[in-house]
Chain A
Amino acid sequence: MPEIKVTPLGAGQDVGRSCILVSIGGKNIMLDCGMHMGYNDDRRFPDFSYITQNGRLTDFLDCVIISHFHLDHCGALPYMSEMVGYDGPIYMTHPTKAICPILLEDFRKITVDKKGETNFFTSQMIKDCMKKVIPLNLHQTVQVDDELEIKAYYAGHVLGAAMVHIKVGSESVVYTGDYNMTPDRHLGAAWIDKCRPDILISESTYATTIRDSKRCRERDFLKKVHESIERGGKVLIPVFALGRAQELCILLETFWERMNLKAPIYFSTGLTEKANHYYKLFITWTNQKIRKTFVQRNMFEFKHIKAFDRSYADNPGPMVVFATPGMLHAGQSLQIFKKWAGNEKNMVIMPGYCVQGTIGHKILNGQRKLEMEGRATLDVKLQVEYMSFSAHADAKGIMQLIRMAEPRNMLLVHGEAVKMEFLKGKIEQEFSIDCYMPANGETTTVTTNPSVPVDISLNLLKREMALGGPLPDPKKPRTMHGTLIMKENSLKLVSSEQALKELGLNEHQLRFTCHVQLQDPHSDADTLHRIYTHLKSVLKGYTIQHLPDGTVIVESIVIKVSSSAEDSNTKVLLLSWSYQDEDLGSFLSSLLKKGLPSGIC
């Protein structure tokens, strides 16, 4: 039985360092190659030794597919391709290909230049790695090789995020990456067609959450920012440069305009300026509304939002600052946070998920005293607000996607085990499909039952379809008979006659003849007629002919009558049939041996 195997090297019952191995139809595919934000040691990257203990990555993997540019999905890519060593194809969408190297470089700078780590990938390695990338377009069917094909669908999560459909023969897997089933202010909703994959591998970040309407959250967010500004506080919004940042900028920009607010809004790092450019150039990846109006008014050209300079942090008066990174684990957002944490007028709004181990995670859990590097502790006095703006599907969204794609099996990754457990139960109950949630390094095996594609001769197909009447009737399925010829790699279904011809074989006719003695005091002709009448009454639905040359033919079985030489009342019937009519011939001979009923004239 063919099998599909799925092994998470990362993101198995966990969020971070997404990396999932799929073996399907003899092909091995790596889905995402991310890093874990919560660790600084080996656990930061997926455990590639799972593969390399048996040989080189390039020999094992047929391709690598990156779903989107977030570092927990692509952060380990240069490490894998350049340091562990992989030379095969890497697929990602155009926006991901554009943005991914910038985030990697940023990540590298923080790690190497600021934290002074060695043995890390270099700028050149990022460049070399990106040379191996083949861009993917939405809905384009990419033939990785003769058998393996992949197709990307819109995932909505961030600019360029894609879900991917992987197909080998009639087996298939869909990997969602991160996705969002509700459109937001700058991106559309994820969509996939009813592709009925054998396995749907879905993220499950918000497995147990059903979020209220986006509008409420937006109103809430604006209210909090506004209140803080009114009382002269400073608002820090840690974000990743691309994604939520743009959505919240659009939100604040329109709010500022409507309310005619004067407090400055800043965006930290030059990256964001660049980021907005990406949004302008990849506007076809944003939502319908932005795409429609971009010629008149490009939503990514902000009037109220200015570039941030480090010195502004100490300026008096209210301000709003967007700073990277989003989990307060390093960089500018952490610096500003340290500066502002002591003042209860200030506020930090965490608009997204924070991985365990990060400062973001700690303060969200109510920790008020933070141990910083050295022995210093930081008292957190500012207001801490959490607002789920990260664009992941919630439980409702995940169920919606299952309904869209109609998978035969479900596999959850990129979530916390407890929450997954809950969702797994719900899925199994609602869709009656198996749901798996392997831990890292644990392999899930799903047996598939693919249909076998065969070429049927059109003659045979037409003949069989004709038997069923003019219209196909689902209640009256037609039985068809043919011969399957298996030659090299081809499978052909043809009629038996054609099979003989194609294989250059002669037909061997097998015939049977038997004599049946019958007591019937009539003339030969009358006896024959009596047989004819008898058979007519017994065999309903058969073609029975009485021919003038003194034979009765039932289908293709020939019956003749002659009188016995000794006794003219004893008739000898001669039955002759071919092997193809064996059942009927055998039936007739035993039927006639019993004699003719007396009532026949």
Chain B
Amino acid sequence: MHTKKRKHNPLVSRLSCFTVSLYSYTHLHTPVVLTVHSLLAVLSVGSSYITLQCPQVQVHHYHVGLWIGHHLCPQLPAPAFGAQELKECAGRVFVDAQPEFCLPERELLDLSTIDVILISNYHCMMALPYITEHTGFTGTVYATEPTLQIGRLLMEELVNFMERVPKAQSATSWKNKEIRRMLPGPLKDAVDVWMWKRCYSMQEVNSALSKVQLVGYSQKVELFGAVQVSPLSSGYSLGSSNWIIQSHHEKVSYVSGSSLLTTHPQPMDQSSLKNSDVLILTGLTQMPTANPDGMLGEFCSNLAMTIRAGGNVLVPCYSSGVIYDLLECLYQFIESANLGTTPFYFISPIANSSLEFSQIFAEWLCHNKQTKVYLPEPPFPHAELIQTNKLKHYPSIHGDFSSEFRQPCVVFTGHPSLRFGDVVHFMELWGKSSLNTIIFTEPDFSYLDALAPYQPLAMKCVYCPIDTRLNFHQVSKLLKEVQPLHVVCPEQYTQPPLTQSHRSDLMLELQPPPMPYRRCSVLNLPFRRRYERIYILPELANSLVPSEIKPGVSVATVSALLHSKDNKHTLQSVPKPPPMPPSKKRKRVIEEPPVALAPKPMLSGAVALEAFLATLQKHGITEVKVEETADGHILHLQAEDTLIQLEEDGTHIVCDSEPLRTTLRDLVLRFLQKL
């Protein structure tokens, strides 16, 4: 790692403070365009030093910027206008085009100045290629191994889905302001429509992921010597992390997508979040009123009911994450519910990889699953479901699946937005029959919006969103334990949901109140940086002479060479000046003005009169006339014609003889402490 040096405009230099800017997308509950909560934080840690050399001002700034987490939000192609683009279905208007994606804010700052991106979990990295490939970004991305591997799979799946349904044209005319003004609801209100992007390619994915540096939980990663970052288990998904960003004296925690429930991932590491100056909190549950366990129960019973009645069950879901828990739950449920003969299908281009990868991350799993690996048995029971042919996986509905497909059955497939992927075929195949059921488990999309273009539908719809992330009750408890000095969170968390304005339990109430942020707002975090770590080299440390000032408190004056390199500072002894070469003109030496090597220390204390007089006497100065003044005493050394003015906070020696003056100086100094 190397130190980056950048010159910054002095006016914007953020001296001695952490600056965090956070942008967030607001939650749009709109029928056609679904924007998922997405957050992106930019944290710049300035350990910067200002140099004032009048008249010119220069700023010399070591700068570390961090991006934390991206959430990619599929912008469901709102079917649209002009003859081809817009389509109407059951009273709603849709854009019919290649799906586009809303990206994290890119205008507010120059992404090429970002040094580091920290990834929280595999759901939060889907926009990575847009940033690493087309913005001049040259920094490093940090993520855990499961996050990287599963993130890669999810991107691969997305690219695959898109490539299957190529649409040559992208819809643009509906984005036109004039046209949009006339469109109904969600299309009209969609934000930044011109910034929406088509999906990236596999090549871009590979290039983006090649910039990822793997880290393990609690690994301390030094950034440019200025700060240390460290991922902690967040308990939400395989390899999901909260991040600690700290210097020797300041600590920021970034808590995003955390869970306290016992599912498959390693439990959340809470204790390491303690002593944070600032805790940035985001990624709370989107379903604060839905209990995940209850939802799981409902999922199973609806599934069993449909199958018993001879219908099929469609579960639109992501290919990693909660699906592992669903399969585990079914593994226990199948026999008791008499579903032993019902085929379960998992259809996704990454189905096999996702199931295989889940089995090899023992280190990242909860204790129970780790113990199974020690036996050695696969940690997830879906291995057994596959072995016993109860669960079958296929890359797509084509090929083997079409010949082996039996009904009634249960199908897990994506994409949960219902806009692309194999799920579309099943919607068309099963939508007409009321025997069939679609069960929504992913909380990212409103099921009504997802279903809208398929209306009218005969199939049953069950909404069992399973969101294991922290709810408000859990967060309050967590914060009480962790006790950060300040909490920063999205504005939405500081008020009850719009639709349930009476539910004060669905918001964050803290003392002191959290600092809210909204999209594109720039927050200054309340830091007062006062100290920095410096290392005193052993030679210098040994040469220091401490003197006790008060009981338990000692001081030593330090004069040393300061070395600063890669934001690390060390102090070293001042080398002894080389002995003066025997000068030809020795007399000149006296006339050389003194080179200011070490300035004299500051003095403290007071000179006690009696003791001082005694000392003078010891040194042969006996004729002293003492005169009392308002602030102290004046000593008249009569034989020497010298005055010493002794006061509480000062001593003044008026003496014309240099040798005597130095003697008196040294006598006075005996009574004072040097700092």
Alpha-carbon gap, A408 to B356, bound state (A):
44
Given contacts A94-B363, A281-B359, A542-B593, A453 and B658 within 8 Å (CB-CB): no
B interface SS class: mixed
Are the C-beta atoms of B534 and A455 separated by less than 8 Å?
yes
Determine which of B60, B249, B558, B572 lies in contact with A471 in the assembled complex, contact meaning CB atoms within 8 Å: B60
Given contacts A493-B558, A582-B600, A140 and B51 within 8 Å (CB-CB): no
Determine which of B374, B555, B593 lies in contact with A485 in the assembled complex, contact meaning CB atoms within 8 Å: B555
Which of B172-180, B212-220, B274-282, B312-320 binds A? Answer: B212-220
Task: Report B-chain residues with C-beta under 8 Å of the C-beta of A468.
Answer: 562
Q: A596 on the interface (CB 8 Å rule)?
A: no
Are the C-beta atoms of B668 and A141 separated by less than 8 Å?
no
Are the C-beta atoms of B591 and A591 separated by less than 8 Å?
yes
Determine which of A295, A461, A510, A584 lies in contact with B603 in the assembled complex, contact meaning CB atoms within 8 Å: A510
Flag A471-496 by CB within 8 Å of B: 1 or 0 each: 11010011111111111100011001
Q: B604 on the interface (CB 8 Å rule)?
A: yes
Task: Report B-chain residues with C-beta under 8 Å of the C-beta of A84.
Answer: none
Which of A253-261, A305-313, A332-340, A501-509 binds B? Answer: A501-509
Alpha-carbon gap, A591 to B593, bound state (A):
9
Closest to B360 in A: A283
Task: Report B-chain residues with C-beta under 8 Å of the C-beta of A107.
Answer: none
Given contacts A294-B356, A466-B49, A539-B593, A514 and B537 within 8 Å (CB-CB): no
Alpha-carbon gap, A590 to B659, bound state (A):
11
Task: Report B-chain residues with C-beta under 8 Å of the C-beta of A479.
Answer: 559-562, 574, 597-598
Alpha-carbon gap, A117 to B368, bound state (A):
36
Q: A330 on the interface (CB 8 Å rule)?
A: no
**B window 551-586: CB within 8 A of A:** 552-565, 569-572, 574
Which of B302-310, B516-524, B538-546 binds A? Answer: B538-546
Q: B529 on the interface (CB 8 Å rule)?
A: yes
Q: B55 on the interface (CB 8 Å rule)?
A: no
Are the C-beta atoms of B216 and A140 separated by less than 8 Å?
yes
Alpha-carbon gap, A211 to B359, bound state (A):
37
Which of B110-118, B287-295, B502-510, B644-652 binds A? Answer: B644-652
Are the C-beta atoms of B561 and A505 separated by less than 8 Å?
no
Q: B361 on the interface (CB 8 Å rule)?
A: yes
Task: Report A-chain residues with C-beta under 8 Å of the C-beta of B563.
Answer: 472, 474, 477
Alpha-carbon gap, A512 to B661, bound state (A):
8
Closest to A101 in B: B374
Alpha-carbon gap, A474 to B572, bound state (A):
13
Residues of B in contact (CB 8 Å), total 102
Flag B348-383 by CB within 8 Å of A: 1 or 0 each: 000011001101111100000010011011110000
Alpha-carbon gap, A507 to B590, bound state (A):
32
Q: A497 on the interface (CB 8 Å rule)?
A: yes
Task: Report B-chain residues with C-beta under 8 Å of the C-beta of A539.
Answer: 593
Q: A114 on the interface (CB 8 Å rule)?
A: no
Are the C-beta atoms of A274 and B603 separated by less than 8 Å?
no
**B window 297-337: CB within 8 A of A:** none
Are the C-beta atoms of B656 and A515 separated by less than 8 Å?
yes
Are the C-beta atoms of B544 and A456 separated by less than 8 Å?
no
**B window 38-75: CB within 8 A of A:** 49-53, 58, 60
Alpha-carbon gap, A526 to B217, bound state (A):
78
Are the C-beta atoms of B650 and A511 separated by less than 8 Å?
yes
Task: Report A-chain residues with C-beta under 8 Å of the C-beta of B377.
Answer: 277
Are the C-beta atoms of A590 and B658 separated by less than 8 Å?
yes
Are the C-beta atoms of B58 and A470 separated by less than 8 Å?
yes
Are the C-beta atoms of A477 and B360 separated by less than 8 Å?
no
Are the C-beta atoms of A295 and B534 separated by less than 8 Å?
no
Determine which of A151, A280, A456, A507 lies in contact with B534 in the assembled complex, contact meaning CB atoms within 8 Å: A456
Are the C-beta atoms of B552 and A487 separated by less than 8 Å?
yes
Task: Report A-chain residues with C-beta under 8 Å of the C-beta of B668.
Answer: 510
State the Cβ distance, A298 to closest chain B Cβ, in Å: 9
State the Cβ distance, A261 to closest chain B Cβ, in Å: 30
Flag B590-609 by CB within 8 Å of A: 1 or 0 each: 11011011111111111100
Flag A571-601 by CB within 8 Å of B: 1 or 0 each: 0000000011111101101110000000000
Task: Report A-chain residues with C-beta under 8 Å of the C-beta of B562.
Answer: 461, 464-465, 468, 477-480
Task: Report B-chain residues with C-beta under 8 Å of the C-beta of A431.
Answer: none
Alpha-carbon gap, A284 to B227, bound state (A):
29
Are the C-beta atoms of A94 and B571 separated by less than 8 Å?
no
Are the C-beta atoms of A281 and B378 separated by less than 8 Å?
yes
Q: B89 on the interface (CB 8 Å rule)?
A: no
Determine which of B554, B651, B669 lies in contact with A486 in the assembled complex, contact meaning CB atoms within 8 Å: B554
Are the C-beta atoms of A516 and B549 separated by less than 8 Å?
no
State the Cβ distance, B359 to closest chain A Cβ, in Å: 7
Alpha-carbon gap, A139 to B222, bound state (A):
13
Task: Report B-chain residues with C-beta under 8 Å of the C-beta of A377.
Answer: none
Q: A469 on the interface (CB 8 Å rule)?
A: yes
Determine which of A141, A278, A587 lies in contact with B593 in the assembled complex, contact meaning CB atoms within 8 Å: A587
Are the C-beta atoms of B373 and A94 separated by less than 8 Å?
yes
Are the C-beta atoms of A455 and B215 separated by less than 8 Å?
no
Closest to B356 in A: A295
Q: A216 on the interface (CB 8 Å rule)?
A: no
Task: Report A-chain residues with C-beta under 8 Å of the C-beta of B571.
Answer: 454, 480, 493
Task: Report A-chain residues with C-beta under 8 Å of the C-beta of B559.
Answer: 479-481
Alpha-carbon gap, A561 to B418, bound state (A):
96
Q: A342 on the interface (CB 8 Å rule)?
A: no
Alpha-carbon gap, A66 to B557, bound state (A):
46
Closest to B361 in A: A284
Given contacts A98-B374, A480-B560, A493-B558, A583 and B596 within 8 Å (CB-CB): yes
State the Cβ distance, B556 to closest chain A Cβ, in Å: 5
State the Cβ distance, A584 to closest chain B Cβ, in Å: 6
Flag A278-306 by CB within 8 Å of B: 1 or 0 each: 10111110000000001100000000000
Alpha-carbon gap, A138 to B214, bound state (A):
11
Q: A317 on the interface (CB 8 Å rule)?
A: no
Are the C-beta atoms of A500 and B602 separated by less than 8 Å?
yes
- Which of A94, A481, A582 is packed against the most chain B CB atoms within 10 Å? A481
Q: B16 on the interface (CB 8 Å rule)?
A: yes
Task: Report B-chain residues with C-beta under 8 Å of the C-beta of A580.
Answer: 599-600, 602
Are the C-beta atoms of A506 and B604 separated by less than 8 Å?
yes
Are the C-beta atoms of A508 and B603 separated by less than 8 Å?
yes
Given contacts A456-B569, A508-B606, A277 and B531 within 8 Å (CB-CB): no
Q: A451 on the interface (CB 8 Å rule)?
A: yes
Determine which of A281, A483, A505, A507 lies in contact with B373 in the assembled complex, contact meaning CB atoms within 8 Å: A281
Task: Report A-chain residues with C-beta under 8 Å of the C-beta of B665.
Answer: 510, 512, 579, 582
Are the C-beta atoms of B360 and A465 separated by less than 8 Å?
no
Are the C-beta atoms of A507 and B51 separated by less than 8 Å?
no
**B window 617-644: CB within 8 A of A:** none
Task: Report B-chain residues with C-beta under 8 Å of the C-beta of A485.
Answer: 553-555
Q: B532 on the interface (CB 8 Å rule)?
A: yes
Q: A439 on the interface (CB 8 Å rule)?
A: no
Closest to B575 in A: A477
Alpha-carbon gap, A483 to B559, bound state (A):
9
State the Cβ distance, B374 to closest chain A Cβ, in Å: 4
* Residues of B participating in the A interface, judged by any CB pair closer than 8 Å: 16, 49-53, 58, 60, 145, 215-220, 230, 248-249, 352-353, 356-357, 359-363, 370, 373-374, 376-379, 529-538, 541, 544, 546, 549-550, 552-565, 569-572, 574, 590-591, 593-594, 596-607, 648-656, 658, 661-662, 665, 668-669, 672-673, 675
- Told that A464-B562, A512-B655 touch, could you supply 10 new A-B pairs with CB distance under 8 A? A170-B535, A281-B360, A281-B376, A451-B570, A466-B52, A484-B558, A503-B550, A508-B604, A515-B656, A583-B600
Q: Which 5 A-B pairs have the closest CB atoms?
A: A509-B650, A451-B535, A496-B602, A455-B531, A583-B594
Residue pairs across A and B with Cβ atoms less than 8 A apart, 20 shown, are A140-B217, A281-B378, A282-B373, A454-B536, A455-B532, A456-B534, A458-B16, A464-B562, A477-B563, A480-B560, A486-B553, A486-B554, A499-B555, A503-B550, A505-B549, A508-B604, A538-B591, A538-B593, A582-B600, A586-B658
* Residues of A participating in the B interface, judged by any CB pair closer than 8 Å: 94, 97-98, 135, 137-142, 151, 170, 274, 277-278, 280-284, 294-295, 449-459, 461-462, 464-466, 468-472, 474, 477-488, 492-493, 496-497, 499-500, 503, 505-516, 538-540, 542, 579-584, 586-587, 589-591
